[in-house]
Amino acid sequence: MRKLFILGMCVFAAGCTMPSYPAKNLVSLGQITQKMSKDEVQARLGDSVVIGYEIADEAGTNLKPIKIKNPQRVEIFQRGRRTFEVMFYLTQIRQADDKITDDELTPLVFENNQLIGQGWQFLNQILKSDGSY
C-alpha cells in the first residue's frame, strides 16, 4: 500500500512540474511599462521564477517550489552610437524538456537603463537597424 502511495505522489509531483497547455505565463509582463528603469523592472519581475513543485518530505505532504533564475541571460550590443542592454526573461514553458529555448524567453530592451521595448519583433527591428529604429 505504501508503494502505491509513493507511486501516486511521484505521478502527482511530475504533473506539478509539467506546464499546462497552452503554455502558462510564468511572468506577468503586464506589470511593466516603457520608460521604467531597469531597477524598477527587476524589482517587479524578481530574480527568480517558480517553474513547478517537488515533494519536500518523505510523507509527501509538503511541496517545495522549484525556482530558476530570471533573467536567464543579459546581452549588450551597439547599433551606431547607441548601446542597448537586453534582458531575456523566462516567461513560458512550451515543452518540459529541461531546456530553455528562445521561444520560451521574452527579451526586454533597455537603453540608458530605461525600458524602451519588449519582445522578439522589437529586438529584431533594432538588430537590423543602424541604431535609428
- pLDDT of residue 106 exceeding 60: yes
The domain ranges of the chain are 2-127
Task: Write the DSSP assignment of 7-67 as a string of letters.
Answer: HHHHHHHHHHHSPPSSPPBSS-GGG--TT-BHHHHHHHH-SEEEEEEEE-STTS--EEEEE
| Mean pLDDT confidence for 65-92 | 93
* Confidence tier at 108 by pLDDT (50, 70, 90): very high
Convert the pLDDT of each residue in 44-72 to its tens digit.
Answer: 999 998 888 888 888 878 899 989 999 99
pLDDT for position 3: 43
- Please give the mean pLDDT across all residues of the chain: 82
* Confidence tier at 131 by pLDDT (50, 70, 90): low
d(CA 83, CA 44): 24
- Comparison of pLDDT for 24 and 67, the residue scoring more: 67
pTM for this entry = 0.76
